[in-house]
Amino acid sequence: MNPVSASLPTIKRSHTSNPREPFLTGRTQTVGNGSSIGAILIGAGRLSEENISRILEVQAEQGQRFGEVAVNLGFLTEDDVRFALSRQFNNLYLPAGDESLSHHLLAAYKPFSPVVEHLRGLRSQLMLRWFHPDADQNVLAIVSPGAGEGRSFIAANLAIIFSQLGKSTLLIDANLRAPRQQEFFKTRAGTGLSGFLAGRGGLDCIIRIPSLLGLSLLPAGAVPPNPQELIGRPVFSNLLQSLGAEFDIVILDTPAAGAYAEAQIIATEASTALIVVRKDHTPVSRAAELAGRFQQTGVSMVGSVLNEF
């Protein structure tokens, strides 16, 4: 597995909740979990009451940390301890045996992997260079010239790690050509973005991802025959303004910009874009051409990501 590497800038400039549950989450404040490590692990079925008693006895005798004693006694693994700590600090992730989401969501399943560490570095750079809550600058389009370059992978995992930061985060699958987020998060298509833009549904199609604190998804919905026309309607611009005011972070997945004109519209409405290129796959000339085209329409290019995954 090769890591994702970020360079800012390098190119010159499921389970799901009830779909009818109110989608507005408000701006999030991080709240610590008051439960002890033992209580969390008992609740998760990883530790018994008897084991807790034994751990506490040894802990009192040796003065070691709870997790260290539990591992030494063979009651827990290091992964169990990391799991409990993540719950205490609201950095939720899923155990390997959980099949509620796709394992393409590395930030949910392997939060300590090199790939996710690189994505956290990207998040830090975006917080410094792009995210300005006072200026209402919190909507970001993930774009790339062609297919198979990792836009959906980057968009989904980046949304997860923003939510792990304690930000109320909305991931919008605006790729109405070949949507992937429904597959990643194992949600039903439902009305989705396409249905909303066509006037066939409301924003109750926004789905909270209960296993990942603070994360919501607006899936693409059914693939329409006229995606460019739907994205080009004023209702799409109004939607982004409304959702940008309700969520701390809004991230948009997009279709291949070199093939479909609506990617330009999405990036323009978002006003900010991050280019994804794939090692040994994306021609430099195509990436540079895309960046230049976006600049000409006033899109702020916060940089690029070299995807080696």
pLDDT in tens, 89-136: 555 667 777 888 999 999 999 888 999 999 999 999 999 888 877 667
% of the chain beyond a pLDDT of 70: 84
Question: Does position 29 have pLDDT exceeding 60, yes or no?
Answer: no
Tell me, what's the pLDDT at 88?
Answer: 65
- Euclidean distance between CA atoms 249 and 252, whole angstroms: 10
Q: Pick the closest to residue 298 from 262, 261, 273 (CA basis).
A: 273
- 142 in the same domain as 44: no
Tell me, what's the pLDDT at 31?
Answer: 37
Mean pLDDT, the chain, rounded, equals 84
- Domain presence at residue 18: no
- Residue 46: give the domain boundaries: 37-89
Per-residue pLDDT, averaged over 35-42, amounts to 80
- Domain presence at residue 118: yes
Q: Can the peptide bond before residue 19 be classed as cis, meaning omega within 30 degrees of 0? A: no
- 140 in the same domain as 233: yes
- 215 in the same domain as 82: no
- Domain presence at residue 63: yes
CATH number for the domain harbouring residue 205 = 3.40.50.300
Residue entry with tokens 């899936």? 219
- Domain presence at residue 127: yes
Token output for 234: 């004023």
- Domain presence at residue 12: no
Of 54, 89, 124, the position where a domain reaches its end is 89
Tell me, what's the pLDDT at 92?
Answer: 62
- Domain presence at residue 161: yes
Question: Does position 17 have pLDDT exceeding 70, yes or no?
Answer: no
- 141 in the same domain as 234: yes
- 198 in the same domain as 58: no
Tell me, what's the pLDDT at 36?
Answer: 81
Question: Does position 307 have pLDDT exceeding 70, yes or no?
Answer: yes
Residue 143 CA: distances (Å) to CA of 5, 71, 86, 120, 215:
16, 44, 31, 19, 21
Please answer whether residues 210 and 216 qualify as being in contact, where contact means their C-beta atoms are separated by less than 8 angstroms.
Answer: no
Per-residue pLDDT, averaged over 24-34, amounts to 43
Q: Of residues 87 and 183, which shows the higher confidence score?
A: 183
- Domain presence at residue 26: no
Question: Does position 59 have pLDDT exceeding 80, yes or no?
Answer: yes
pLDDT in tens, 173-228: 999 999 999 999 999 877 899 999 999 989 899 999 988 878 999 999 999 999 99
How many structural domains does the chain have?
Answer: 2
- 127 in the same domain as 85: no
- 118 in the same domain as 71: no
- 149 in the same domain as 84: no
- 84 in the same domain as 176: no
- Domain presence at residue 20: no
- 143 in the same domain as 65: no
Question: Does position 304 have pLDDT exceeding 80, yes or no?
Answer: yes
Which DSSP string corresponds to 165-197? TT--EEEEE---SS--HHHHHT----SHHHHHH
- 187 in the same domain as 126: yes
Of 48, 63, 89, the position where a domain reaches its end is 89
Question: Does position 13 have pLDDT exceeding 80, yes or no?
Answer: no
Least confident of 7-11, 108-112, 185-189, 292-296: 7-11
pLDDT in tens, 249-262: 999 999 999 889 99
- 126 in the same domain as 185: yes
Q: Of residues 1 and 264, which shows the higher confidence score?
A: 264
Provide the sign of the torsion angle of the four alpha carbons 203, 206, 210, 216, taken in this order.
negative
Question: Does position 6 have pLDDT exceeding 50, yes or no?
Answer: no
- Euclidean distance between CA atoms 4 and 154, whole angstroms: 9
| 3-state class (DSSP) for residue 205 | helix
Question: Does position 240 have pLDDT exceeding 60, yes or no?
Answer: yes
Tell me, what's the pLDDT at 16?
Answer: 36
